[in-house]
Amino acid sequence: MIAIASDHAGVALKAELYRQLQDRGVEVEDLGPSDATSVDYPDYAHLLARAVADGRIERGILICGTGIGMSMAANRHPAVRAALCHDAYTAEMARRHNDANVLCIGERTIGVGVAGQVVQVFVDTPFEGGRHQRRVAKIEWEEP
């Protein structure tokens, strides 16, 4: 299961990506918002990140104007590895080497066509594991 959420600056791209995912047969849940009325991006980033951290969803997609704020807020949650991606290569490496479980993109910084490619790669690319597993395990910070 994949969840998708945005703020007001990402609502149009969210709707298009939601449709694309459904057309591909991907089970996707829209966590809002439903229109372009101004909202605060951390509210939606935290909503989605909690669902990932709790295991209710496997992966998530967050969209705001640039993707920066969403990635910063989502990465505050344990077990969330949110990656800001701008192209198919960064999405592939985020999954393959970093086991990213949240994709962040910016509606104002990426076109619809490229965004669709980024999402497809994020959904389809498996985590490579191996030497990368050790590194991913070190992402979770614990005080010594």
Which residues are catalytically annotated? 64, 97
Q: Which residues contact 90 (CB under 8 A, 6 or more apart)?
A: 83, 118
- Give the H/E segment covering residue 133: helix 131-137
Angle (CA) 18 125 5, round 5°: 30
Rounded to an integer, what distance in angstroms lies between the CA atom of residue 31 and that of residue 111? Answer: 22
**Biggest alpha carbon distance in the chain?**
47
| CB-CB contact of 94 with 122 (8 Å) | yes
| CB-CB contact of 4 with 17 (8 Å) | yes
Decide: helix, strand or coil at residue 6.
strand
